[in-house]
Amino acid sequence: MASGFVKIAMDEFNSHTTNNWTGLLMRYWTIVEEEFADDRAKVYPLMDNPLPTLVLVGAYLAYVLVIGPLHMRDRKPFQLKNTLIYYNACQVLLSGYMFYEHLMSGWLFDYNLRCQPVDYSDGYQSRRMLNLCYIYYLSKLSEFADTIFFVLRKKKSQVSWLHLYHHSLTPIEAFILVKFLAGGNATFPNILNNFVHVCMYFYYMVAAMGPQYQKYLWWKKYMTELQIIQVLHLDCTFPLHPSNKACGVEYLPDGGKGHKKILPRFYCIIRTS
């Protein structure tokens, strides 16, 4: 693979077209796709290459950081009570469905936590997991609405660096999952994420119903602690997977460094809640 990259670079230099970065990047992407990509993923919208996902992430950041605040600058904040209730209810149902599907697609009976290679066949279970990973990807795009609602309600304090980091990165990670690793150990963090999101969006749904329901949200602190447990679990288990080449995920990036940056911020949230 490295020799292929060198050959492309030399060809571009010799043809005096090294300034054509778009063409060069597309040729690099072609090599990566041919070497590692799951051919089954090509049938899904937005899965041909990462550009559509990156454009959507860029549009999301442009709206929540620039366009949205400018639009709302001289306007009163929207209440969006019913919208938030229905949106969060839908996210609870979607996350619950994905949690169930992850279990039934392999993790409940067939998968091995220590070493589970990706099944790239056209079998029923492998296809079921691939479809689920794509739904998971779409769900991450739908979560852009979390921030958009904050902007429309003028909840500027909620649009933190950590919030933007999370919502910008997860669609890209989900794209990589569908395109290259739709199955095996790479899908286990999704189960934890789905479970946490069921609890989280249920909390948001009840909170949106009004002050009279606040007495039922005594478990808010435990919600944040549950998120910390999720991050700690990824730190403990993800480094194990790339070290086992028999699992077929030796090129899977270790997300531990990013999680270590996030964890202290979660701790601060608990201390101030």
pLDDT tens digits for range 114-140: 888 999 999 999 999 999 999 999 999
For the residues 92-99, what does the mean pLDDT come to? 98
Looking at the predicted structure, is the pLDDT value of residue 209 above 80? yes
Q: 1: pLDDT confidence band, cut at 50, 70 and 90? A: low
Whether 166 is catalytic is yes
Res 32: pLDDT: 82
Please compute, for residue 83, the number of CA atoms within 13 A of its CA located in the half-sphere on the CB side: 10
For the residues 241-267, what does the mean pLDDT come to? 50
| Cα 211 to Cα 215: distance, rounded to the nearest angstrom | 8
The region, left, alpha or beta by phi > 0 then psi within -120 to 50, assigned to residue 210 is left
* Helix/strand/coil percentages in the chain, nearest 5: 75, 0, 25
Q: Which of 16, 102, 163, 166 is catalytic?
A: 166
Looking at the predicted structure, is the pLDDT value of residue 266 above 70? no
Question: Model pTM?
Answer: 0.82
For the residues 207-221, what does the mean pLDDT come to? 88
Looking at the predicted structure, is the pLDDT value of residue 17 above 80? no
